[in-house]
């Protein structure tokens, strides 16, 4: 049996898909360990999970310090300069120590934890990229070549700081595969072509496996008895990272649902920003999202990849108001597939939300498209398919990495 080391950022939406894959590998007899925010990983993957570290960097602080008002280029600049690159610098010694302790046969590296790729190449260990979104595969910065070059420069500087100087081999690697976000051996994408559309296959290394959804701890305190029979149920959420920035969207959702008395809304409100209490709306800091989606008829969200995929996995059509990062791309993918409607985050009113919600609930085409994507998700294999690809990674012939050819 083999040893797999998972490297993840301190982000719920990036850890959750990896949890299912790790569980599938463990069920096949492989050994699994993690590097990342120990408390968050333990909460999502279980208290018995092996998290390797010598010290606990301030991963959580890095994940929560982004100002809620940042949008567009300013948000991208902050993401790279103040989160992803500092996170990589903080994680690199932790990953190196974990590799020395655990002796993994392969690393599974989230695309936002690029330090894992640096250590894997430095140590000559096979690695796979874990892509929680297909947005990067569509080359979102191709219309902004100067910004794309700036990102590549940050990643090259990271390589040089960590002993991977620019060489002819590394230049060939970049031309062929891109950068540290893309393994030259395997990129696992938790989506399907039915949602993501045509993307660059990156020389055959991309594997679409659909959402990696595994059983999560239940919430016995959730008031299931409050959910009415015979009325459409709508989930409203803006995820974990965007909860502050999305407070205004949650308020619009409450007003929109309140104006639709035939609908019952469940609003996820982790920061307690909702003060209105309409009779057809219940709010809670946390909800058992997968269980709620099994009962839901629609979802209103920020177009975060995990929320979108979990909704579509259950055939639930969407109303989306993307805030930043990859969310506009994800929202565009959903609308192109016909499974939802997109609103403008900063310019929509409660009436806009209500009108869009009414359409996705009453026009059959949205539900039909959502169920079609759901079928593609289930057929793709999810966590089990990802585990199979990771097993094959170790039996396949290696390709050139930045370390080779020096």
Burial class (CB in 10 A: 0-12, 13-18, 19+), 225: exposed
Whether 372 and 389 share a structural domain: no
pLDDT at 214: 80
> Domain of 289: which CATH number?
3.40.50.2000
Rounded CA gap, 308 and 340, in Å? 10
Rounded CA gap, 206 and 215, in Å? 26
**68 falls in which pLDDT band (50, 70, 90)?**
low
Q: Among 5-14, 159-168, 288-297, which stretch is predicted with the lowest mean pLDDT?
A: 159-168
Whether 346 and 356 share a structural domain: yes
Rounded CA gap, 185 and 128, in Å? 6
Strand, helix or coil for residue 233: strand
pLDDT at 388: 98
* 192 found inside a domain: yes
Question: Of all residues in the chain, what percent carry a pLDDT higher than 90?
Answer: 58
pLDDT in tens, 125-137: 999 999 988 777 7
pLDDT in tens, 209-229: 999 988 766 666 789 999 999
Rounded CA gap, 216 and 16, in Å? 9
pLDDT at 399: 46
Whether 166 and 185 share a structural domain: yes
H or E segment and range at residue 45: helix 38-45
Q: Is the pLDDT of residue 8 over 90?
A: yes
pLDDT in tens, 90-125: 999 999 999 999 999 999 999 999 999 999 999 999
The residue among 325 and 94 whose pLDDT is bigger is 94
* 218 found inside a domain: no
Whether 32 and 163 share a structural domain: yes
The residue among 167 and 313 whose pLDDT is bigger is 313
pLDDT at 142: 65
Whether 256 and 147 share a structural domain: no
Give me the number of domains the chain comprises.
2
Give mean pLDDT, residues 203-208.
Answer: 83
Q: Is the pLDDT of residue 243 over 60?
A: no
pLDDT at 104: 98
* Closest to 275 measured CA to CA, from 263, 258, 300, 292: 258
Whether 390 and 373 share a structural domain: no
Give mean pLDDT, residues 238-257.
Answer: 79
Give mean pLDDT, residues 383-400.
Answer: 85
Whether 363 and 391 share a structural domain: no
Parent domain of 81: 3-210+381-395
pLDDT in tens, 171-195: 555 555 557 888 989 999 999 999 9
pTM of the model: 0.86
* Closest to 16 measured CA to CA, from 100, 110, 96: 110
Whether 181 and 248 share a structural domain: no
């Amino acid at each position: 049996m083999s040893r797999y080391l998972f490297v993840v950022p301190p982000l719920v939406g990036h850890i959750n898909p990896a949890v299912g894959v790790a569980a599938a590998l463990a069920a096949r007899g492989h050994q699994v360990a993690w590097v990342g925010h120990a408390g968050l990983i333990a909460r999502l993957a279980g208290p018995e999970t092996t998290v390797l570290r010598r010290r606990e960097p301030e991963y959580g602080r890095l994940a929560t310090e982004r100002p809620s008002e940042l949008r567009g280029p300013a948000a991208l600049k902050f993401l790279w300069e103040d989160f992803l690159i500092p996170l990589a610098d903080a994680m690199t010694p932790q990953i190196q120590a974990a590799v020395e302790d655990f002796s993994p046969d392969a690393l599974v590296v989230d695309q936002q934890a690029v330090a894992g790729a640096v250590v894997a190449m430095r140590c000559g260990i096979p690695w796979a990229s874990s892509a929680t979104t297909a947005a990067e595969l569509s080359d979102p910065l191709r219309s902004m070549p100067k910004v794309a070059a700036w990102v590549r420069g940050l990643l090259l500087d990271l390589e040089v700081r960590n002993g991977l100087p620019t060489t002819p081999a590394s230049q060939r690697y970049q031309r062929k595969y891109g950068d540290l976000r893309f393994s030259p051996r395997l990129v696992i994408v938790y989506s399907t072509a039915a949602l993501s559309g045509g993307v660059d296959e990156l020389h055959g290394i991309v594997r679409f496996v659909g959402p990696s959804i595994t059983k999560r701890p239940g919430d016995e305190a959730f008031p299931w008895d409050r959910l009415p029979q015979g009325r459409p149920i709508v989930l409203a959420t803006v995820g974990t990272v965007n909860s502050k920035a999305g407070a205004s969207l949650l308020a619009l959702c409450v007003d929109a649902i309140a104006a639709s008395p035939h609908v019952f809304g469940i609003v996820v409100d982790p920061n307690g920003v909702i003060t209105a209490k309409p009779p057809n709306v219940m709010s809670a800091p946390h909800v058992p999202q997968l269980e709620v989606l099994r009962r839901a008829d629609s979802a209103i969200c920020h177009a975060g990849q995990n929320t979108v995929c979990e909704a579509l996995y259950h055939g639930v059509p969407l109303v989306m108001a993307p805030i930043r990062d990859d969310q506009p791309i994800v929202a565009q993918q959903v609308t192109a597939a016909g499974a939802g409607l997109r609103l403008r985050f900063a310019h929509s009113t409660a009436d806009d939300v209500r009108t869009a919600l009414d359409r996705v609930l009453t026009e059959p085409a949205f539900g039909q498209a959502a169920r079609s994507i759901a079928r593609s998700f289930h057929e793709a294999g999810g966590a089990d398919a990802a585990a199979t690809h990771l097993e094959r990674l170790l039996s396949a012939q290696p390709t050139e990495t930045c370390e080779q050819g020096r």
